[in-house]
Amino acid sequence: MSYSTEQIIEKLKALKVVPVIAVDDAQDILPLVKALSDNGLPVAEITFRSAAAEESIRLVRQHYTDVFILAGTVLTTEQVVAAKNAGADAIVTPGFNPKIVQLCQDLGLPITPGVNNPMSIEAALEMGIAAVKFFPAEASGGVKMIKALLGPYGNLQIMPTGGISPTNIKDYLAIPNVVACGGSWFVEKSLIKAKNWDEIGRLTREAVELVK
């Protein structure tokens, strides 16, 4: 199923938190997504920080048709094509690359590019982008910076990612323009490596409760 950007914004607003995942072994993605899904979070941002990303996206698409899949840390046009072919619903990039944005628009694939200053926001607006990732959120000034940027760019929809934790996520979500936050504290690499799906499930449930 293909989503429009508007539908994706609505979906993110309902979820409020997006697990940002890096798996080294694609086989780990199915029990991981099951742990997320069963505990109220049918969404995954599967990042191209690992070589297993494309295969992981493909597996989730085959086995969990209702899970919303974002392909994250997409840096090249090849990765865009790989993510689309594997079945990703949308693309998320750490920065703003006009070539990547253009390709996604040509393919009809929604993209949430990363920004953290007025220059990148203007570049995004120029290309008709309505929703952006604010990255790295905490290191770029966090809540204070987002509020300052919303002065001139009041219509921007924002997904902060980077340094988001249970202690600050509510502060971000309190900003009306923040649709959801990307987080990885409940899908830590060490937990995935240890195949500790029960603990991931418990932490996911806590995260869902926290953002309700």
Which position among 11, 16, 84, 133 bears the catalytic label? 133
Catalytic site includes residue 133: yes
Give every strand in the sheet of 111-112, ordered side by side. Answer: 111-112, 90-92, 68-72, 43-47, 17-21, 181-183
Of 11, 16, 45, 84, the catalytic one is: 45
Residue matched to tokens 């449930």 = 205
Return d(Cα 182, Cα 133) in angstroms, integer: 9
Question: Is 45 a catalytic site residue?
Answer: yes
Whether the ω angle into residue 31 lies within 30 degrees of 0, i.e. cis, is no
Q: How many residues does the chain have?
A: 212
Residues noted as catalytic? 45, 133
